[in-house]
Amino acid sequence: MNLLTVTDLTKKYKDFKAVNSISFSIPKGEIFALIGPNGAGKSTTLKIIATILQPTSGKITLENKDFKNMRDDVRKMITYLPEEAGAYKNMKGIDYLNFMAQLYSTSKAEATEAIKFARELSDLGNKLRDKISTYSKGMTRKLLLARALMSKPKLAILDEPTSGLDVINALHIRRTIKQMSKLGMTVLLSSHNMLEIEFLSDRVAIIDKGEIIEIGEPNELMKKHNAKNLEEVFSNLTQKQNE
Amino acid sequence: MSKFWVLLKKEVKELLTPQMIVPFIAMVVVFMLMGNIIGNETEKQTSQKVQIVFTDNDKTPSSNTIKQSMEAAGYEITTKSSAQSHVVIPQNFESDLKAQKQPTIEIITKLDNLSIVNNVNTQRTAQIGTLINELTANIVLQSKLKPNDIAFSKQPVKISDTVKFNNKMAQITVGEIFGYLLSQSTVVPIVLFLVITLASQLVATAIASEKENKTLETLLSIPISRKSIVAAKLMASGVVSFFISILYLYGMKSYMGGLTSTATQSLDQSKVQEAIQQLGLNMGATDYALLGLSLFLGIMVALSFAFILGTFVEDIKSVQGAITPLMVMLLIPYVLTLLLDISTLALPVKMLVYAIPFTHTFTAMNNITLGRFPELYAGMAYMLVIVIVGIIVASKLFSSEKIFTFKLNFFKKSA
Ligand SMILES: Nc1ncnc2c1ncn2[C@@H]1O[C@H](COP(=O)(O)OP(=O)(O)OP(=O)(O)O)[C@@H](O)[C@H]1O
Ligand SMILES: [Mg+2]
């Protein structure tokens, strides 16, 4: 059973086709990754699925809910971590989590549960009592990630989730994402870190100039392209494209 | 030194961005236009002669001299009911003068409107009493009457001033009434201007800071309706600006209080109050409620417009430039209503000024005190329509992706 189905998705900015007729589907509980060079159209795709942008053409459904007319229902099932995101600087970390938990949950108990989970996830400890304006880049990222995962969404859309994090923190986050996916959360993410993709994702789509040029399980792709790792697959494919 | 110049050049370049130049140019143009309108209006007013109805109950050479001298002094003696002033010479004018008894001359002045420029003539009518006194003094001196009383020769007549408004009368001079009303009708527009400016800045900044701090994308992916987000932003800015403006008002009141207490010390304040009551120029509870409602509508117009402009802004720095159109729209009626009675302007100009929604907030005070209720309600209805349209457009913009893809490119082109 596919949770998300994307069919012939195209996005134009004025005359420029940032995403060109891409199709893919993600079964429930899968971690699906988009990889590709800068400007390939990864973030644009994620923004459309996060209901932030509207597609120029194509069809998207989440659990049979069409994005055309059921955006409000869709928003209840997803969370989105933008690639470049901030938090309200005058809030304390804990206030931010509180605020978001209230917006996402339907009961007080649910909100309390979410906040408790987010506190662990963020790993910020006493720093949660400080204003967000004092946070480092990585600390803010951890807070936002905790926010994105705390409501245990059906689909988590994470645009370069671990960018800016140190090795240890990135590892912690990856483990958490993997754990949550085992519990049934579906993940759509993008990344430039091939090790991360190999560790995390069940399937990857390589996207270049707005088109999906390859899609499959990491091991499969390495075999098919006779490569030692995903990095090689990536550079082989994207360079070929540019010739 | 050369490095200093490199630095200086960079600083000047950073400052002279289109965002900061465009608003200034816009303001200069607006002020030039308004200077023109006000200049024309002043000329129109001052070129007109003050009309006086002259009732002579004495019909003696002395009273006739007064009449002729007034004509010579540039007043137009007429029988038209539209005349601003009515001078009544009493029956025993000449004989009283001879007996060295001060005759009482009645001057009735009509109050038309409450603006500064339109009242140039009111100011001139205020001088009628002084003039008549001088003219009578001349008569007394030139006649064979030998005044044995210096005081009498200086002040041979008593002047009784009456102000007429809407067929109601009160014993008071126009100057006193006018001074009182003006002190009231200048404070209100200042507060209106402050509140509306503040509200628009707040709401535009609220959106710009979501963009600048990169919180907008997250906010818009949350499962709450876009309408709630728009409403919350509008309401927060409205409420905050309301409370800040109460603080302003408080400060302003003590400031104005300081000014008026010295200016009106000589005036009998209770006498003015009583006259205001008699003329029906006082504001009751419903009047204040209407004024409040009009202010509320003005704020809502500003908020919805500023919201629309705010969606095009990418950072807080550009807010000031982006809301310039709003400031211009606010400044025009602010200055004009302070100086003129807009209803007396030439039709095309009038239509233009009335098309600006804020005009109706600024004229509300005058419309209420002068009892022009149809105009007041029409203005409010117009503002309501604009508010509804504005909010619909604002939430449409906010619900679409335009908030991310639209940019105020004309600011960026040359930069
Ligand atoms: N608002 C916009 N207006 C016009 N063009 C845009 C806009 N946003 C993105 N683009 C263009 O769309 C293309 C895809 O951008 P996108 O951000 O999706 O790339 P990406 O794959 O996420 O790249 P990166 O790895 O650098 O994050 C780029 O060429 C970019 O210039
Ligand atoms: Mg990207």
Residue A212 has pLDDT above 60, yes or no: yes
* pLDDT band for position A241 (cuts 50, 70, 90): low
Neighbours of B149 (CB within 10 A): 10
Q: For residues B246 and B236, what is the distance between their CA atoms, to the nearest angstrom? A: 16
Residue B412 has pLDDT above 70, yes or no: no
pLDDT of B15 over the 60 cut? yes
- Residue B356, pLDDT score: 94
**pLDDT for the residue B390:** 92
Nearest-by-Cβ selection for B401 from A52, A104, A144:
A52
User: Would you say the CB of residue B167 lies under 6 angstroms from ligand 1?
Assistant: no
3-state secondary structure of B87: strand
- Candidates A88, A90, A150, partner chain B, best to mutate (most B CBs within 10 A): A88
Residue B405 in contact with partner chain A when CB distance is under 8 A: yes
Q: Strand A31-35 relative to strand A186-190: parallel, antiparallel, unpaired?
A: parallel
- CB of A162 within 6 A of ligand 1: the answer is no
Q: Which residue of B has its CA nearest to A90?
A: B213
Q: What is the average pLDDT value for chain A, to the nearest integer? A: 92
Output the residue whose Cα is nearest ligand 1's atom 28: A39
Looking at the DSSP assignment, which residues form a beta bridge with residue B104?
B158
**Cα of B263 vs its chain's centroid, Å:** 20
Residues of chain B with C-beta less than 8 angstroms from the C-beta of A104: 222-223
Expressed in angstroms and rounded, the spacing between residue A85 Cα and the centre of ligand 2 is 12
Q: Does the pLDDT value for residue B209 go beyond 60?
A: yes
The alpha-carbon radius of gyration of chain A (Å, integer) is 18
**A52, A72, A100 member nearest B404 (Cβ):** A52
- Is A28 in CB contact (< 8 Å) with chain B? no
The Cα diameter of chain A in Å comes to: 57
- The residues, ordered by sequence, that sit 6+ positions from A108 with a Cβ below 8 Å of its Cβ are none
Angle between helices B285-310 and B226-263 (to 10 degrees): 130
Ligand 1 close to Cβ of residue A44 (< 6 A)? yes
ipTM of the complex: 0.91
Pick the more confident residue, A210 or B85.
A210
Confirm or reject: Cβ of A43 under 6 Å from ligand 1.
yes
Q: Which residue has the tokens 């007394």?
A: B140
Contact A104 B223 (CB under 8 A): yes
For tokens 């207490």, the residue is B261
Q: Indicate the average pLDDT of chain B.
A: 83
Q: Does B221 touch chain A (CB under 8 A)?
A: yes
CATH superfamily for domain B48-165:
abc type-2 transporter like domain (3.40.1710.10)
Q: Give the ligand with the smallest distance to the CA of A40.
A: 1
Residue intervals of chain B classified under CATH 3.40.1710.10 are 48-165
Residue-level pLDDT at B415: 33
For residue A16, give the H/E element and its range.
Answer: strand A16-27
| Domain range list for chain A | 1-77+156-164+187-243
Chain A contact for B228, CB < 8 A? Answer: no
Q: How many CB atoms lie within 10 A of CB B233?
A: 20
Q: Name the pLDDT band for B342 (thresholds 50, 70, 90).
A: confident
Q: Residue B404: its chain A contacts at CB < 8 A?
A: 52-53
Q: Which CATH fold would you assign to the domain A1-77+156-164+187-243?
A: Rossmann fold (3.40.50)
Does B95 score more than 70 pLDDT?
yes
Query: How far apart, in Å, do the first and last CA atoms of chain B sit?
Result: 27
Kindly report the protein residue whose alpha carbon is nearest to atom 6 of ligand 1. Answer: A13
A164 token code pair? 């800016």
Q: What is the pLDDT of residues B22-80, one digit of tens each?
A: 778 888 888 888 888 888 877 877 777 788 899 999 888 888 888 888 888 888 888 88
Q: What is the pLDDT of residue B121?
A: 62
